[in-house]
Amino acid sequence: MTPDGEAPPAAGSAPAGTGAVTTATGSIRRPKTTGLAKGDSVPGVAKNDPIMVIDNVTRRFGGLTAVDVDHLEIPRGAITALIGPNGAGKTTLFNLLCGFDKPNSGTWSFDGTNLSGIPSFKVARMGQVRTFQLTKALSLLTVLENMKLGATSQKGERLWASIIPAMWRKQDDANEEKAMELLARFKLDAKAEDYAASLSGGQRKLLEMARALMSDPTLVMLDEPMAGVNPALTESLLDHILDLKDLGMTVLFVEHDMHMVRHIADWVVVMAEGRVVAEGPPETVMNDAAVIDAYLGSHQDVDLGVVTGRVAGEHSAAEEELLEEIKEAEEASIAEAEEEKK
């Protein structure tokens, strides 16, 4: 029973009056945000309230085009998952948006401010922070010292002020109090005086997420937050990501764990070969043919043994189509080679 004497809502139901889809992690049910897009769930669809808008962003490495995004909008106040097979360009796009890399072309804006050419430290000061797939905790500093590094506009960072403790002591005490509150929330307060090197992989992920919150960000970008995490900490991490949204932040994360994406994401963007091939609510995207093709290949229903002749059997229509594609590719390759000889 609730404190008002009413029966609690059934598992998986939405809070009364919200009409929202709910998700559960452990014993906590959270409403999913819906109605994010203005039109159908297609690549590049406009959002009702985008916090980030990306236009014609490309990044090439030699002859390889790693990112080629025509138009993408990230909805404000929601959890957006960026998924795709290895090599799809997800982390490269992250690096571009955060100022860690420079694009060959394109523009993007955060909260109405153009970020093209803005270095990463200035992007972070504007309220857009990120974590990394491989954690960046400073191993020879304590957990508390790592946290205090995340605070912005510290007076003690100025050369002359640093030698006069009276100028920065009060602010430093406030930063330490805030850091301890965050560590307690992430259940790392008992490790505050331990070196960061002593933490497990999952604890380092928690530390990096907690440190990102020291700057009171508006947009938190997480690069594979579940990678290398002990399953015992997975539920805790999920709850902390959902907490970010409850605190009014927007979350954009890269992830390969489809169960996690389905459970916590409000919106999903799918990349393949550097391009956005699908986007929409998770239940819609997971059944999209373009998504299945991106992960499994466009001929996942074809028996390659029959196609190559190693296994006896009759060719289906899909197998005949694949054979025709192979034949055309071979003819084009031969024609190109003959042209080069001339």
Q: Write the pLDDT tens digit of every residue in 1-12.
A: 444 444 444 333
Amino acid identity of residue 21, one-letter, is: V
Residues in Cβ contact with 323 at an 8 Å cutoff, skipping those fewer than 6 apart: 307, 315
What local confidence, expressed as pLDDT, does residue 15 receive?
A: 38
Confidence of residue 51 (pLDDT cuts 50, 70, 90): very high
Q: H/E element holding 107? A: strand 105-110
- The last residue of one of the domains, among 280, 296, 312, is 296
Beta strand pairing call for 28-31 and 79-83: unpaired
Asked whether residue 278 is assigned to any structural domain, the reply reads yes
Tell me the average pLDDT across 191-200.
92
Looking at the structure, tell me whether residues 285 and 327 fall in a common domain. no
Residue with more model confidence, 152 or 219: 219
229: closest CA among 196, 257, 198? 257
Q: What whole-number percentage of the chain has pLDDT above 70?
A: 83
Assess whether pLDDT exceeds 60 at residue 21.
no
Q: H/E element holding 253? A: strand 250-254
Burial of residue 300 (number of CB atoms within 10 Å: 0-12, 13-18, 19+):
exposed
Looking at the structure, tell me whether residues 39 and 116 fall in a common domain. yes
What local confidence, expressed as pLDDT, does residue 9 receive?
A: 41
Contact call for residues 251 and 223 (beta carbons, < 8 A): no
Assess whether pLDDT exceeds 50 at residue 20.
no
Looking at the structure, tell me whether residues 216 and 268 fall in a common domain. yes
Asked whether residue 181 is assigned to any structural domain, the reply reads no
Per-residue tokens: 2? 């609730």
Contact call for residues 85 and 272 (beta carbons, < 8 A): yes
Asked whether residue 93 is assigned to any structural domain, the reply reads yes
Contact call for residues 238 and 74 (beta carbons, < 8 A): no
Asked whether residue 24 is assigned to any structural domain, the reply reads no
Looking at the structure, tell me whether residues 235 and 290 fall in a common domain. yes
- CATH assignment of the domain containing 214: 3.40.50.300
Q: Domain tally for the chain?
A: 2
Mean pLDDT of all residues belonging to the chain = 82
Per-residue tokens: 239? 């709850």
Q: What is the pLDDT of residues 239-287, one digit of tens each?
A: 889 999 999 999 999 988 788 888 899 999 999 999 999 999 998 888 8
What local confidence, expressed as pLDDT, does residue 328 receive?
A: 79
Q: Is the pTM of this model over 0.85?
A: no
- Please tell me what DSSP assigns to residue 188: -
What local confidence, expressed as pLDDT, does residue 314 receive?
A: 67
Looking at the structure, tell me whether residues 265 and 328 fall in a common domain. no
Alpha helices (H) in the chain, listed in sequence order: 90-97, 120-125, 143-149, 159-162, 169-185, 201-212, 231-246, 258-264, 282-285, 289-296, 304-308, 317-341
Give the lowest-confidence range in 14-18, 20-24, 286-290. 14-18
Asked whether residue 5 is assigned to any structural domain, the reply reads no
Q: What is the pLDDT of residues 324-334, one digit of tens each?
A: 776 777 788 78
Looking at the structure, tell me whether residues 278 and 311 fall in a common domain. no
Looking at the structure, tell me whether residues 208 and 117 fall in a common domain. yes
Residues in Cβ contact with 261 at an 8 Å cutoff, skipping those fewer than 6 apart: 81, 83, 255, 268, 282
Tell me the average pLDDT across 205-233.
87
Amino acid identity of residue 145, one-letter, is: E
Range of the domain at 40: 31-137+199-296
Looking at the structure, tell me whether residues 102 and 218 fall in a common domain. yes
Looking at the structure, tell me whether residues 209 and 336 fall in a common domain. no
Asked whether residue 244 is assigned to any structural domain, the reply reads yes
Confidence of residue 153 (pLDDT cuts 50, 70, 90): confident
Looking at the structure, tell me whether residues 230 and 326 fall in a common domain. no
Looking at the structure, tell me whether residues 327 and 223 fall in a common domain. no
Per-residue tokens: 90? 């997800």
Assess whether pLDDT exceeds 90 at residue 117.
no
Give the lowest-confidence range in 130-139, 211-220, 332-341. 332-341
Asked whether residue 257 is assigned to any structural domain, the reply reads yes
Q: What whole-number percentage of the chain has pLDDT above 90?
A: 45
What local confidence, expressed as pLDDT, does residue 7 receive?
A: 42
Assess whether pLDDT exceeds 60 at residue 17.
no
97: closest CA among 202, 234, 303, 254? 254
Q: What is the CA radius of gyration of the chain?
A: 24
Looking at the structure, tell me whether residues 210 and 320 fall in a common domain. no
Tell me the average pLDDT across 214-228.
89
Asked whether residue 156 is assigned to any structural domain, the reply reads no
